[in-house]
Every structure is written in structure tokens, then in C-alpha cells.
Amino acid sequence: MRLKFLLKPGWLALTLVVFTFAITCFTLLAPWQFSRNTEREHQNAALRESFSGQPRSLEELLPNGAVPDQRTEWHLVALKGTYLPEGEVVARLRSVQGEAAFEVLTPFRTVEGTIVLVDRGYVRLDDKSRALPFAPPPAGTVDIVTRARHDEKDGKNRDAFADESTGGKLQSYVVDSQVVARAAKLDIRPGYFQLDVNQPGVLGALPLPQTDAGPFFSYALQWIAFGAMAVMGWLYFTVRELKPGGALTTERPQRRKSVAEMLAEDERSEVAT
């Protein structure tokens, strides 16, 4: 029975590889790219709205201690209060416009008493890969316009640190309000607020993301196509194996004799007679 070839070890291994790859494409890789495309759409919508919208108060945009999410991230937030430079932390290993940089994170106490984390922007590195000197934040009460951002996460859960390599300055591996809160021993509200251009205390204003759609939707379609191609290829070779002469069959069709072989047989038969 020709279907017996489906139980051969080689064919079973091929089947396992093909269907594992196809299932991964359909249930993991393509949905992941679709989700990234959705995130980009939300980000672009928030950015476009912020370009024409007016700054909102903290409680208006994020009431009752809400954390910035896809719906509220990048929206403009107006804050009034004072910087707390004693709790400042510098985020290391950053990249801004393709060049290495540090980001300066300074706690900010609003006039209502809430403490938030403000990302004052970036500074470049000196010849020893340390942060170049930067200006302290202004003293006293100031009005600033920021953009709401959600905290970054460090998979290793590393706290801020200070040693000789940092010149005694606290540094962190991510921009995370709770990392700064632990280092500065302050009750900082989750999420952080990125200073917009021409604001009191801003250093190098961080550039905004591009509002293009990105390649994620096309990548998702490509993974679906790859999975479908793998299954169709498996079906093609399965059908081919069911026909005589398949690569795994033990039966081989009889080879046709060449003209030279037929002439040689005729000569042998004439000699025998």
C-alpha cells in the first residue's frame, strides 16, 4: 500500500518540521506582526492628535493615577511645579538619531503635590564614554509642556547604580519611573513625561517617532504566505510520492532499453542461432 511511506522516519521528520513551521507562522509570527502594526497605528493616531491638540492637565489626561497607555501616550501634558535635581538619574546606553547618548531623568513635584518623572532629553558622550556636562534644571516653580510616556522595562530588573565609572552620578539601564523612585527614595507616579522643545529644563529634545505605517502588516502577510507555501509544498510532494516512481518508494518502473542495448541483444541472439 503506497500510503505506508507516510510512516517512514524521514517522512515523519519532514512532516513534523513543515507543520511546526506552518503553525508557528499562523499562530505566533503573523499575529505578532499584526499586533505591532496595531501598536504603530495607535502611536501614529496619538501623535497626529497631539500635533493639533492643546496640552491637557495631568488629571484630565490620566485621572486617578492612570498609567499612560496606547490611547494616551504621546499626548501633551501641562505641568506646573518644581524640579527635584537631588533625585536625578541618567539613563545609559541610549541611541538618538543613530548616535550614542544619555537621557537625563529628573523628578518633578507638581503644585498639587504629585511627583512625576520628567525626561529632560539627551546629552552626548565625551571621549571617555561618559555623559558630557549638562545644565541643571531651573530652580523655583516652572510651567512645562511634556508628552506622556509609558515606562520602559528591564528584563533583568536592575536598579540604578553609581560608581567610579559614572563619576558618582546615578545611572540606570532603562527609563523607568520606579527605578528612579527606588534610587531617589521618592514616591513617583508610574509613567514618565518627556519634555517638548523649548521648555524650561530641556536639554537635547528627543525626536518624535515617524508617523509612517511601517513594514509590520506586510511582514505578517509574508509569514502567512510562508506557512501556506510550506503546507502546499508538503501536499505536492505527498501526492508525488503516491504516484509510481516516488523518491521513497521501493518499487521502480522498468527502465527502457537504449538502442545500443537492443542491437547488442539482437547480435547475441543471431550468434546463438
Q: Do 187 and 231 lie in a common domain?
A: no
Residue 209 lies in a domain: no
Q: What is the pTM of this model?
A: 0.67
Structural domain including 127 reads 57-195
Q: Do 72 and 117 lie in a common domain?
A: yes
Residue 22 in this model has a pLDDT that exceeds 70: yes
Q: What is the pLDDT of residues 161-191, one digit of tens each?
A: 988 778 788 999 999 999 999 999 999 999 9
More confident residue, 83 or 248: 83
Q: Do 43 and 69 lie in a common domain?
A: no
Q: What per-residue confidence (pLDDT) applies to 215?
A: 84
Written as nine digits, the cell of 124 is 552626548
Residue 203 lies in a domain: no
Q: How far apart are CA 101 and CA 119, in angstroms?
A: 13
Residue 148 lies in a domain: yes
Tell me the pLDDT band of 25, cut-offs 50, 70 and 90: very high
Tell me the pLDDT band of 264, cut-offs 50, 70 and 90: low
Lowest mean pLDDT segment, chosen from 34-48, 76-90, 157-171, 248-262: 248-262
Q: What per-residue confidence (pLDDT) applies to 7?
A: 75
Q: How far apart are CA 231 and CA 210, in angstroms?
A: 37
Q: What is the pLDDT of residues 197-221, one digit of tens each?
A: 899 999 999 988 766 677 888 888 9
Of 163, 195, 227, which residue is a domain's last?
195
Residue 154 lies in a domain: yes
Q: How far apart are CA 233 and CA 223, in angstroms?
A: 15
Q: Do 230 and 166 lie in a common domain?
A: no
Q: Do 69 and 148 lie in a common domain?
A: yes
Residue 61 lies in a domain: yes
Q: Do 30 and 61 lie in a common domain?
A: no
Of 164, 195, 226, which residue is a domain's last?
195
Count of helix runs (H) and strand runs (E) in the chain: 6, 8
Written as nine digits, the cell of 137 is 534644571
Residue 266 lies in a domain: no
Q: Do 182 and 63 lie in a common domain?
A: yes
Q: What is the pLDDT of residues 54-68, one digit of tens each?
A: 899 999 999 998 999
Count of domains forming the chain: 2
Residue 206 lies in a domain: no
Q: Which helix (H) or strand (E) holds 117?
A: strand 115-123
More confident residue, 253 or 186: 186
Q: Do 218 and 172 lie in a common domain?
A: no
Residue 267 lies in a domain: no
